[in-house]
Amino acid sequence: MDVRTTSLDGMFLLSRPMHTDARGSYEVIWNRGELAAAGIDVDFLQDNLIKTRRGTLRGLYFQSRQPQGKLLTVLQGEVYEAAVDLRPDSPTFGRAEGFVLRADESTSLWLPPGFAHGFLSLSEYVVYLYKVTAPWDPEHAHVMAWNDPHAAIAWPLERGGTPVLSERDQAGLAWAEVRQLLG
């Protein structure tokens, strides 16, 4: 596994080797020992699977209590994944970064606990797997506005259009509200 740092403290892009032959391909999505050797020594509690269509934007999700570390992997299609560092003690607090993740590139993204994240589906159909390190806490689960000017995420929207959003995602919190939740 190849581990690449990003501009946000503690967030890594992980590239996996893929083995192919006449039958197809084989790859290891995650291996506890390899992640620990890379400095990601966590216990995952749950796997989540999302299936969605082009133009759908989900997020930016975070929990103000029991923040979740997440290992994000596209199994089919491609997405634009964006993350915002919400850890007040972090040197990259409040900064955002985005990446295109493609299933055929065998790449995952590690987000340590304390990040908001969201993604925009770029292909006709997306299957997205993410592992989490803490349980979902509905009372403390929040959405930061996907288009908040502080984060200034350059979402690659088709023709400058508006993404498909849930009602919850449309009502995302502004940066000032997010900061209040974080204390």
CATH of the domain at 178: 2.60.120.10
Q: Report how far residue 135's alpha carbon sits from residue 48's, in angstroms, rounded to the nearest whole number.
A: 11
d(CA 88, CA 165): 28
List the strands of the sheet with 141-143, edge to edge. Answer: 96-102, 78-85, 115-121, 57-63, 141-143
Residue with tokens 């506005």: 145
Over 70: is that where the pLDDT of 77 sits? yes
Average pLDDT of span 12-41: 82
The pLDDT > 70 percentage for the chain reads 99
Q: Specify the number of domains making up the chain.
A: 1
- What average pLDDT does range 56-66 have in this prediction? 95
Which CA distances in Å does 73 have to 81, 182, 183? Answer: 10, 27, 31
The structure tokens 């979902």 sit at 136
Record the pTM: 0.91
pLDDT at 165 over 90: yes
pLDDT of residue 26: 77
State residue 114 phi and psi, 5-degree precision. Answer: 105, 15
- Lowest mean pLDDT segment, chosen from 32-36, 80-84, 89-93, 111-115: 32-36
Domain region containing 21: 2-182
